[in-house]
Amino acid sequence: MKRQSTPSTWLFLTCLFFSQAEMIGLFSQTPKPNRATVSSAIETTPLAKRKDNGASKVFTLMDDEAIGVRFMGNNPSHFKGSQLPVEKVSWDEAKAFCEQLTEYERTAGRLPQDRAYQLPTEAQWEYACRAGTKKAWNFGDSPSGLSTYANFSDKNSNLQGADKEYDDGFEFTAPVASYSANAWGFHEMHGNVFEWCMDWYGKHTPVAVIDPVGPLIGKERIFRGGSWALPGVFTRSARRDKNQPILKSGFLGFRLCLGQVQDKE
Ligand SMILES: [Ca+2]
Ligand SMILES: [Ca+2]
């Protein structure tokens, strides 16, 4: 399928390109500030700015499952490619990457002390995935749209339980933005790789809460969205999965969120 980019995504990726050299040096040398900034690029990206009511905080989620591939130094992924999503990265490693990126950007004077790169909370992730929708997927209740919007275990897969009646074009991971975006411009919220969220796993509370951050303690971390290795039902907007934070898997990655420090720290 053809890669699709919104103008805002283009702007964001262009800015990242200009700062890529110094970002790769994140773990190996003293960075040198240049004209482009990751943080300002994200700030100008209108995707998933959450301010839908007076109680909610603004956050920005990145439309890029491959960010870790380009900026983590050594690509940990089983499936290699600059446009393929990062995977085989544990929650602990993803969290550490967020912290290092935050420190790097603050040191360079590009990130205020009250802002930080983080994993999205489960609530933030689902908010961005749904893009205002309330149905099973952000494209509707019928799975007929799966092949257009998600990479999952389909007819290209040799895995048990694959949804052989669908053809999404890929057996394993697909390049970012291979599939149609949701209404807010996010690609691959359904499928491709699961994405780690910040929260410990816990049962949903019976009463609705605003901006939840999950339990204070736990044994397993949440990941969301389904993957190339599992049938389409795992890609549903409300589907919750979890595992130990040390898990590394070829079907599990992450995307970054730029938020307020007090959100989760
Ligand atoms: Ca597939
Ligand atoms: Ca995904």
Sign of the dihedral through C-alpha 238, 243, 244, 249: negative
Number of the ligand closest to the Cα of 255: 2
Cα 56 to ligand 2 centre (Å): 24
Measured in Å, residue 248 CA sits from the centre of ligand 1 at: 20
The side-by-side arrangement of strands in the sheet containing 221-224 is: 241-243, 221-224, 194-200, 252-253
In the DSSP assignment, the letter for residue 137 is: B
Question: Where does residue 52 rank: exposed (0-12), middle (13-18), buried (19+ CB within 10 A)?
Answer: exposed
What's the confidence (pLDDT) of residue 198?
95
Alpha helices, DSSP H, located in the chain? 7-24, 38-43, 67-71, 91-107, 122-130, 146-149, 261-264
pLDDT tens by residue, 91-142: 999 999 899 889 888 998 888 898 899 999 898 898 889 888 999 999 999 9
Q: Give me the amino acid identity at 97.
A: F
Question: What are 259's strand-pairing partners?
Answer: 116
Q: What confidence score (pLDDT) does residue 251 get?
A: 97
Between 112 and 57, name the one with better pLDDT: 112
Q: Helix (H, G, I), strand (E, B), or coil: what is residue 17?
A: helix
Instruction: Tell me which residue of 261, 264, 256 sits closest to 101, measured CA to CA.
Output: 256
Q: What backbone torsions phi and psi does residue 123 show, to the nearest 5 degrees?
A: -65, -40
Residue among 180, 191, 14 at smallest CA distance from 87: 191
Ligand showing the shortest atom-to-Cα distance for residue 196: 2
Lowest-confidence pick of 28-32, 42-46, 95-99: 28-32
Average pLDDT, the chain: 78
Kindly give the distance from the C-alpha atom of residue 157 to the centroid of ligand 2, in angstroms, as a whole number: 17
Cα of 152 vs centre of ligand 2, distance in Å, is 10
Residue 247 Ramachandran class (φ > 0 left, ψ -120 to 50 alpha, else beta): beta
Rounded average pLDDT over 194-216: 87
Evaluate whether 191 touches 177 at the Cβ level (below 8 Å). no
Q: Quick one: which ligand is closest to 192's CA? A: 2
